[in-house]
């Protein structure tokens, strides 16, 4: 088996760049204008930026003027939360399963609990908002990066609005996998990242539903209508725009991945004690988070990697270390069981053969681990 034809099953960390995006990137690298310059080359670059802004806005049903390009999802989350609370001293309420870039965006956010499936407790959110009438910002993701569990963001939003709170939604994992519409969600701000939808790394966007006042967190020139200083990343922006178009076209294909996800889960869950997290609720079609009883995630990752299979344990944002998952902890999973969980995530380039090879390799790793235990005993 080995590494000659590796199987990539870690698309939630980053997905493959789409062929149309590669072509657009190559063409963009031939452009020499700075989008802020007034000469012809600058105006040509500016036109590419604005066309891409329209393409990104169309992915989530927003107005192009509401799109602020950033260096990625992490910066967009920070801009949304820190940029919207500056000047208006707002409480920040976030779900316990948010991405670390939301959890760490302010020193002490108020954490709203989730249930055993990882879905936000709307009653707890209501109570927290009712506790005092200070201005508030609520940030709840659309889909979880580790479990794929989809949050009831439209309900979160109507609840928050009842209390006069602003609502931000990190939709980085959901975009390109399910239909996303800022108006239907009823939110004020939404975060996107290109490398999760087949675009390049290092480019993202914060999308505002209307003219949300934002204090820039990066200061300097007046780029992005003074909401984010710095010369625009022209190739990144162009690649992001094309990725948005392709992802929108490919939504039915993304939804169809549930057939393969279910096959993986049916195959692996035959083994005693295997647990699939969030299986009872609405989740992304491409993601499964499951345990291999008695075998640490790190051991599974190494063994699968040697067999040419790339998966992950939890989120890819820690420094190469496999740390306990705050998402599974928030769902009430015991640390010992959470330590045996891996995340398998598919994408636009996944094939049926990838799925079969992953299942076979997982079975193999499990059998070897069980064998070792028996010999040790």
pLDDT in tens, 34-73: 999 999 999 999 999 999 999 999 999 999 999 999 999 9
Phi then psi for 112, rounded to 5 degrees?
Answer: -100, 130
170 beta partners:
191
- In the chain, CATH 3.90.1150.10 covers 7-16+252-376
Which residues are registered as beta bridge partners of 10? 345
Would you say the C-alpha torsion 302, 308, 311, 317 has a positive or negative sign?
A: positive
Whole-number pLDDT of residue 316? 53
pLDDT of the residue at 374: 63
In the predicted structure, residue 319 carries a pLDDT above the cut 80: no
- Among the listed ranges 118-132, 137-151, 200-214, which one has the minimum average pLDDT value? 200-214
Check whether 19 has a pLDDT greater than 50. Answer: yes
What are the two backbone dihedrals, phi and then psi, of residue 83, each rounded to the nearest 5 degrees?
Answer: -70, -30
The per-residue pLDDT for 318 is 52
Given this model, what pLDDT does residue 212 score? 77
Confidence of residue 323 (pLDDT cuts 50, 70, 90): confident
How many CB atoms neighbour CB 57 within 10 A? 20
- For the question of whether the overall pTM of this predicted structure is more than 0.85, the answer is yes
Give the pLDDT confidence score for residue 372 in this predicted structure.
73
- Predicted confidence band at 2 (pLDDT cuts at 50, 70, 90)? very low
The answer regarding whether domain 7-16+252-376 maps to CATH 3.30.70.260 reads no
Higher pLDDT, 5 or 372: 5
Mean pLDDT, the chain, as a whole number? 94
Q: Tell me the longest C-alpha to C-alpha distance in the chain.
A: 76
CATH for 19-249?
A: 3.40.640.10
Tally of CB atoms within 10 A around 308: 16
Tens digits of per-residue pLDDT, 228-266?
A: 999 999 999 999 999 999 999 999 999 999 999 999 999
Taking a C-beta distance cutoff of 8 angstroms, is the pair 193, 76 a contact? yes
Hey, what are 279's tokens?
Answer: 């299986």
Torsion angle (degrees, nearest 10) of CA 92, 14, 190, 248: -160
Q: Considering the chain, tell me which residue range(s) the CATH 3.40.640.10 domain(s) occupy.
A: 19-249
Both tokens of 196, joined, read 């999760």
Active site (annotated) includes residue 289: no
Q: What is the mean pLDDT of residues 181-202?
A: 98
List the catalytic residue out of 169, 289, 317, 359: 317
């Amino acid at each position: 088996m080995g590494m000659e034809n590796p199987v990539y099953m870690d698309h939630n960390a980053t997905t493959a760049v789409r062929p149309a995006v590669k072509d657009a990137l190559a063409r963009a690298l031939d452009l020499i204008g700075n989008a802020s310059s007034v000469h012809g080359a600058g105006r040509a670059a500016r036109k590419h930026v604005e066309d891409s802004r329209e393409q990104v806005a169309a992915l989530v049903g927003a107005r192009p003027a509401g799109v602020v390009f950033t260096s990625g999802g992490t910066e967009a989350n920070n801009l949304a939360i820190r940029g919207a609370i500056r000047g208006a001293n707002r409480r920040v309420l976030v779900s316990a399963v948010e991405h670390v870039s939301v959890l760490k965006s302010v020193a002490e956010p108020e954490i709203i609990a989730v249930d055993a499936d990882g879905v936000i407790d709307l009653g707890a959110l209501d109570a927290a908002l009712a506790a005092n009438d200070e201005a508030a910002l609520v940030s709840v993701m659309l889909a979880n990066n580790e479990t794929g569990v989809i949050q009831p963001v439209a309900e979160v939003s109507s609840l928050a609005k009842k209390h006069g709170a602003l609502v931000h939604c990190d939709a980085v994992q959901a975009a390109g996998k399910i239909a996303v519409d800022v108006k239907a969600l009823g939110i004020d701000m939404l975060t996107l990242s290109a490398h999760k939808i087949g675009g390049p790394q290092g480019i993202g966007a914060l999308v505002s539903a209307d003219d949300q006042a934002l204090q820039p967190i990066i200061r300097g020139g007046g780029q992005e209508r003074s909401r984010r200083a710095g010369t625009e990343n022209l190739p990144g922006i162009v690649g992001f725009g094309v990725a948005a178009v392709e992802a929108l076209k490919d939504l039915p294909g993304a939804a169809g991945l549930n057939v393969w996800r279910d096959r993986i889960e049916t195959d692996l869950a035959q083994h005693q004690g295997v647990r699939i997290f969030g299986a009872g609720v609405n989740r992304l079609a491409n993601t499964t988070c499951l345990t291999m009883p008695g075998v640490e995630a790190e051991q599974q990752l190494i063994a699968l990697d040697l067999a040419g299979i790339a998966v992950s344990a939890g989120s890819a944002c820690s420094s190469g270390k496999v740390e306990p998952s705050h998402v599974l902890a928030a769902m009430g999973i015991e640390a010992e069981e959470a330590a045996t969980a891996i995340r398998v995530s598919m994408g636009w380039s996944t094939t049926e053969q990838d799925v079969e090879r992953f299942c076979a390799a997982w079975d193999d790793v499990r059998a070897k681990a069980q064998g070792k235990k028996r010999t040790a005993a």
